[in-house]
Structure 1
């Protein structure tokens, strides 16, 4: 297995991501680490990295070395962003780092930083049109998306650390300080020509400020999933939290549920940026990305032989990677998915569901047995847990939950108690889960021996009945008997009797 270390040296913190890449192209996150170094602290108008910040940074990098060497890393990608990019003593600093650690950092330009952030977002979120914002400690990247491609991008020379030092008292900013900062931000946003024409875009946000913002929102709403990536907030939620935070003093901010204590002194400036952008563009939705610069750098490396390091089908790529990551036997779930989708398509006039539900059903079919990795007994429950706690890109939180409930239904009748997640799911979702669940349960039974006995199916609909004909390579008594156990649930869901017979090919 190839093991890659990606180090992102920012203005506020230095972060390490370790990823393993298997020979089949699948990959998994091995470990992560973060150290707050405040490299840009007190740079001043002379833009000089200060000795204390340099010492903190080198100490953090040495700690990272112990970690990635223990993992047997084979490739290191080390990049530095705004603080080093702007530093007048950049060359001396990089030499100090090299002498102390042996690491050679590549300093990203603003455009390169924006490009890497873009790759991290579009390769993990179904982001077609909208506006990406990456708020760092010393810079803010803005990227306009159209059909998943970059239309325009700019790097603004400020972030949560530098704005705090320039405008705000860290303990309790005055109203005048906050107003001055907000005016400064409006002026800079209005100077970006292409941004003036954006009206009510979906904003895709990344960086520590955005992650903390989403966690505060999830805590105050008692959100039932502990997932940051692709969490959605309204523009009003963003503005409400900004008002809450900007009126609190430092000690009060440290007690806000969801807010990291080590970010409490710079969070007002960070939230001023995102709330200012929400106001300026009249955006009604913020989508939170848990993937950013480091992920983008990883995809650039993983897909380096492609003309553009771009994943076309996020969900398919993500599920296939999970199946290999969990070392699942591939033929059985793929055949179950084939039978499941065939039944879904042939019964469309009965269930009247569409492409979105079909995609959910395919994910549930492919991952229905993943819980066996924990234990065969109650593996349907383990499958639910693993699906809801795995990164499945291209699906919303609601779609992930529906897929997990459907997968859980593959071996037990109508497992659709959605009450624990009623903040995300509604009654219609419960009905959808029952429809998709019974289809998966019957299709999985038709692959009971995991030998591909049933090659395909034909569904014939009548007034009160559905006749499912299983096209078999040889005797399919086991499969037919097992599938018929789902007939009672089929009648409850579709209101028709189910008859199953086999036809030899």
Structure 2
């Protein structure tokens, strides 16, 4: 089978065609065209229609190449430059009209998730690092992703909305006024030093793992190339920084025969990597030259069964990451676990009624883990604080849309007498209103079953028959409070599912 991916990036449009080769993919054609869309987006906020016209012509050219190879599965994606363009909707419409392509503009979190899965896929072969805390680093053109990796899973992540090209474009006008442009970039990046240091304070990072064109080029300057993985010791990168810090983009472009734009990106990336080595305390960098977004997407399309294993790892990482966020805000772990357990049992029992999928189950699980996290800020209106904390958090594997769903479920979970009409009016213009409502009804019921935060009901049995949902406990403890809490929340559940829940006690 042959498949192709077109990646509309910040600097280039890249096109890769691959075929499956047993356990991996084999790239059989790779093309790219420099268009520098990021220069438009990061300086004016909009992409010119002159560039849209060029982009459309190149897409049609790539389409013809794909047809020659018989690539029936062709996917077109866009990243930062498209994602942040104010005129995105008009651009997408123009391109679809001219080329027939529907562009999938990836959410920033989604883009990073693909990169992390591909890093894990390549990194897990190296058993010598198995017991270490690892920092995954992806410095994109418009943003930087950081993730800590331990025992085969990602347990926390950060996404910083600044990347190598974005920094270059932001500071471009200052370059001619300074002798040491690299130091200027470093001073700007110091803003992020302390927050990253605090985030990594409970980790002992010896190695960080990364990928990308800039770090590959820098590795080449150190004589490291033509290998599956490149190892750059800290002292070698520091020495390279010292050698390059006094040079500007013009000098670098002449010395290495690259564009000034590329030279600026290299200086920015070098400053990023030096900062991360310093703040993490890592002794070396492992660079995987083959890892990029297009390869991850091609692996997904051509070897979907093998891809599923890494996707499952990412979903496990989502749960671990959620629990770690809970611990950071001193959540009530026992209550969280009880509500999570009940919510999952209710979701599974109600599957014939709610018709939701496995992904929605994961979102409900995250909401159950973090629903009371806002009590760290203040018990009063904790639901609002829960919403803000979740909305502002990085949960690996979840897109911005999914994070919004989880945060809204947490916001409404605690209202005692929630009327469906009032609730509906508050979500009137929310596209995921029905999804949120179904998962919310389940979480509210699960929360009511542990109203005393004592796990009094123990292991419950749930049985759906007709329009009755029987929840049976064998606990000898008094359940009057739980029955009362259930009654206060059962009306909303009845409105959503047309089912009346009841708590039964069998000792």
State the alpha-carbon separation in 1 of the partners of residues 281 and 24 from structure 2: 40
The residue that corresponds to 1:150 in the other structure is: 154
State the alpha-carbon separation in 2 of the partners of residues 261 and 237 from structure 1: 24
The residue that corresponds to 1:136 in the other structure is: 140
Per-residue deviation, 1:28: 1.9
The residue that corresponds to 1:21 in the other structure is: 20
Change (3 A) 1:216 1:4: same
Structure 2 contact 181–245 (Cα < 8 Å) conserved? no
The residue that corresponds to 1:50 in the other structure is: 48
Change (3 A) 1:59 1:142: farther
Q: Which runs of 5+ in 2 are unaligned?
A: 313-507
The residue that corresponds to 1:162 in the other structure is: 166
State the alpha-carbon separation in 2 of the partners of residues 238 and 295 from structure 1: 27
Matched ranges for 1:114-263 at <5 A: 114-125=112-123, 126=125, 128=130, 129-169=133-173, 174-175=178-179, 178-192=182-196, 194-218=199-223, 226-257=225-256, 263=262
Change (3 A) 1:256 1:280: farther
Deviates more, 1:256-265 or 1:107-116: 256-265
Change (3 A) 1:273 1:57: farther
State the alpha-carbon separation in 1 of the partners of residues 96 and 73 from structure 2: 16
State the alpha-carbon separation in 2 of the partners of residues 4 and 307 from structure 1: 15
The residue that corresponds to 1:81 in the other structure is: 79
Per-residue deviation, 1:302: 3.6
State the alpha-carbon separation in 2 of the partners of residues 34 and 120 from structure 1: 21
Q: Secondary structure at the match of 1:310?
A: helix
Change (3 A) 1:148 1:25: closer
Question: Does 2:98 align with 1:100?
Answer: yes
Per-residue deviation, 1:101: 2.0
Deviations 1:258-294 (A, max 9, x none): 9677612322112111111112112211111111222
Structure 2 contact 19–26 (Cα < 8 Å) conserved? yes
Change (3 A) 1:27 1:281: closer
State the alpha-carbon separation in 2 of the partners of residues 46 and 171 from structure 1: 19
State the alpha-carbon separation in 2 of the partners of residues 180 and 26 from structure 1: 42
Q: Secondary structure at the match of 1:167?
A: helix
Change (3 A) 1:227 1:95: same
Q: Secondary structure at the match of 2:52?
A: helix
State the alpha-carbon separation in 1 of the partners of residues 179 and 281 from structure 2: 23
Per-residue deviation, 1:176: 7.0
Change (3 A) 1:202 1:167: same
Change (3 A) 1:12 1:44: closer
Deviations 1:321-355 (A, max 9, x none): xxxxxxxxxxxxxxxxxxxxxxxxxxxxxxxxxxx
Structure 1 contact 170–266 (Cα < 8 Å) conserved? no
Matched ranges for 1:402-481 at <5 A: none
Change (3 A) 1:75 1:61: same
The residue that corresponds to 1:289 in the other structure is: 288
Q: Secondary structure at the match of 1:273?
A: helix
Structure 2 contact 249–260 (Cα < 8 Å) conserved? no
Change (3 A) 1:150 1:67: same
Change (3 A) 1:54 1:243: farther
State the alpha-carbon separation in 2 of the partners of residues 14 and 310 from structure 1: 27
Q: Secondary structure at the match of 1:201?
A: strand
Per-residue deviation, 1:79: 1.6
Q: Which runs of 5+ in 1 are unaligned?
A: 313-505
Change (3 A) 1:257 1:166: closer
Per-residue deviation, 1:158: 1.6
TM-score w.r.t. the length of structure 2 is 0.54
Structure 2 contact 175–181 (Cα < 8 Å) conserved? no
State the alpha-carbon separation in 2 of the partners of residues 71 and 173 from structure 1: 50
State the alpha-carbon separation in 1 of the partners of residues 270 and 135 from structure 2: 17
Q: Secondary structure at the match of 1:254?
A: helix
The residue that corresponds to 1:304 in the other structure is: 304
Structure 2 contact 145–159 (Cα < 8 Å) conserved? yes
The residue that corresponds to 1:111 in the other structure is: 109
Q: Secondary structure at the match of 1:243?
A: helix
Per-residue deviation, 1:18: 0.8
